Amino acid sequence: MNNHKIKGKDLKRINYTTDRAKSLAIDIMQKDFKHVSKIEKLELLKDVLLQPNEYINHISFTKLAEEFIGKTAKQNGITYQLDDTKKPYSIYGSKLITPETIQQMNVAMQLPISKAGALLPDAHLGYGLPIGGVLATENSVVPYGIGLDIGCRMSLSIYEVPADFIKRYSYQIKCNLKEHTHFGIGKTFKQTEDHEVLHRTEFQATDLLKQLHGKARMQLGSSGSGNHFVEFGTVELPEANSLRIPSGNYVGILAHSGSRGLGAAIANNYTQIAMQNCRLPRGAQHLAWLDLNSEAGQEYWLSMNLAGDYAKACHEVIHQKLAKSLGLKPIAMIENHHNFAWKELHNGQEMIVHRKGATPAHEGQLGIIPANMIDPAYIVSGKGEANSLFSASHGAGRKLSRKKARESITGSELNKRLKQNNITLIGGNVDEAPMSYKKLDEVMKSQSDLVNIEGKFYPQIVRMDKA
């Protein structure tokens, strides 16, 4: 049994740096995990360190998770105050946005590093920056202005097959969705896929990325929980669309997911470092930033870009596996991502543009803006509107929190709505019910200055995580 015990030196090897964290970890393992092998204990403790937000309500790990999340900026670092007045920024669809969300954006615009911003009509409360918020800074990056799911993206493959394909092959489609997609926190495939992203030299650039390589390999091609999905549906294209595809109806596969455990671990790690080095007033702590000239800032920027490419690779695997299983070949693919930061020129100055739950909409740039599991998504092209920092919404945006959705929507209500719209749902929960979201048509009207509408995607068979 002694071989199962965790010691301080074991924890030091997995980057437990404080005596309190080590003490909490040892006590938890002795109390609740005494019969678990040492290897499994260390893997579990490593995961708590890398993804503390996932364990904040865990029956055993709450105190340890709190130690990693909120108690990092105590002794060292520089203390900053918010500016007395916020910088001006554009708000689109203010009637669709709660006052609390606007106030959260106001705080972000009071950061000393803030230069410009925008709030989009799908905006709602988030951690740090609102979801649907755009923030431009000078040579600084805010890890929580990007969020946990770095590089989360939409991807749509379009196939030139008869419109009744989905109806005729619905059984095969459902079987293939169950076999070739995988959803949920920590979920992995038994048989891993290969992809060039796994051979990238960046995985050897930092100790953290070295540790995460194995998880990245195991999760490649999988999807997260919450609002992540893979859908089969029909694509409707009008005359003279920017895709240069003849007008008509097509079959499409639409996916929404991100960088999985890799992105979450990077976000948590560098948010902690930012909060250690950059001490902000209460209510603004998660907006702590990293100077891009610093070692940590350069590490985060490299890691963020790798996570974005990894998210893209996950989408490629999802689409390739499903298309191959059904004998389909795409004639077009559209992708756009959010939860990311870009170096861009605005008014002749290079800025770091954070888009958290917001997507780039440079002139002519194609993208997809989804609604919910029953209403159509919009295929769009950007208009290059400078006042929005060349940005548009990434979706419809929530109007009910997950908690309120679970309290106010029943499973029978959801099933009734799905049946009325001839939608097949595999997995899913009431907290993702269509009634939890704003109406995408209203969101689109509020950002008509930002994007052109190029077509629509109508979901028919939807695959999501089920808690």
Structure tokens at 310: 């990894």
Residues 352 and 256 in one domain: yes
Residues 44 and 169 in one domain: no
Q: Are 436 and 400 in contact (CB under 8 A)?
A: yes
Position 162 scores a pLDDT of: 87
Residue 347 has pLDDT above 70, yes or no: yes
Q: Are 313 and 195 in contact (CB under 8 A)?
A: yes
Position 358 scores a pLDDT of: 97
Position 1 scores a pLDDT of: 42
Mean pLDDT over residues 263-290, rounded? 91
Residue 186 has pLDDT above 80, yes or no: no
Residues 159 and 273 in one domain: yes
Residue-number span of the structural domain to which 62 is assigned? 2-69
Residue 14 has pLDDT above 50, yes or no: yes
**Does residue 196 belong to any structural domain of this protein?**
yes
Q: Are 101 and 128 in contact (CB under 8 A)?
A: no
Report the CATH number at residue 178. Answer: 3.90.1860.10
Residues 298 and 383 in one domain: yes
299 vs 3, residue with greater confidence: 299
Which of 115-119, 317-321, 397-401 bottoms out in mean pLDDT, i.e. has the lowest? 397-401
Mean pLDDT over residues 33-39, rounded? 80
Residue from 413, 449, 17 nearest 207 by CA = 17
231 vs 75, residue with greater confidence: 231
- Residue that is last in its domain, among 44, 69, 94: 69
- Residue that is last in its domain, among 69, 85, 116: 69
Provide the pLDDT confidence category of residue 89 given band limits of 50, 70 and 90: very high
Provide the pLDDT confidence category of residue 253 given band limits of 50, 70 and 90: very high
Mean pLDDT over residues 385-402, rounded? 95
Residues 65 and 149 in one domain: no
Mean pLDDT over residues 346-363, rounded? 96
Residues 152 and 53 in one domain: no
Residues 389 and 257 in one domain: yes
Residues 65 and 153 in one domain: no
Structure tokens at 221: 């091609």
Provide the pLDDT confidence category of residue 187 given band limits of 50, 70 and 90: low
Sign of CA dihedral 378, 325, 219, 184: positive
Residue from 341, 325, 364 nearest 230 by CA = 325
At 286-331, the pLDDT tens digits run 899 999 999 999 999 999 999 999 999 999 999 999 999 999 999 9
- Residue that is last in its domain, among 69, 94, 113: 69
Residue 71 has pLDDT above 60, yes or no: no
184 vs 291, residue with greater confidence: 291
At 408-443, the pLDDT tens digits run 999 999 999 999 999 999 999 899 999 999 999 999
Which of 72-81, 133-142, 286-295 bottoms out in mean pLDDT, i.e. has the lowest? 72-81
Residues 276 and 400 in one domain: yes
Residues 58 and 202 in one domain: no
- pTM of model > 0.75: yes
Position 366 scores a pLDDT of: 97
Total residues belonging to the chain? 467
14 vs 198, residue with greater confidence: 198
Position 72 scores a pLDDT of: 45
The CB density around residue 10, as the number of other CB atoms within 10 Å, is 17
Mean pLDDT over residues 118-132, rounded? 93
Position 33 scores a pLDDT of: 86
**Does residue 129 belong to any structural domain of this protein?**
no
Q: Are 67 and 53 in contact (CB under 8 A)?
A: no
For the chain, the average pLDDT equals 92
Position 73 scores a pLDDT of: 42
**Does residue 128 belong to any structural domain of this protein?**
no
Residue 75 has pLDDT above 80, yes or no: no
Residues 34 and 152 in one domain: no
Provide the pLDDT confidence category of residue 70 given band limits of 50, 70 and 90: low
**Does residue 111 belong to any structural domain of this protein?**
no
Residue from 394, 358, 321 nearest 157 by CA = 321
At 322-338, the pLDDT tens digits run 999 999 999 999 999 99
Compute the distance between CA of residue 440 and CA of residue 462 in angstroms, rounded to an integer: 18
Residues 165 and 282 in one domain: yes
> In the chain, how many domains are there?
2
**Does residue 400 belong to any structural domain of this protein?**
yes
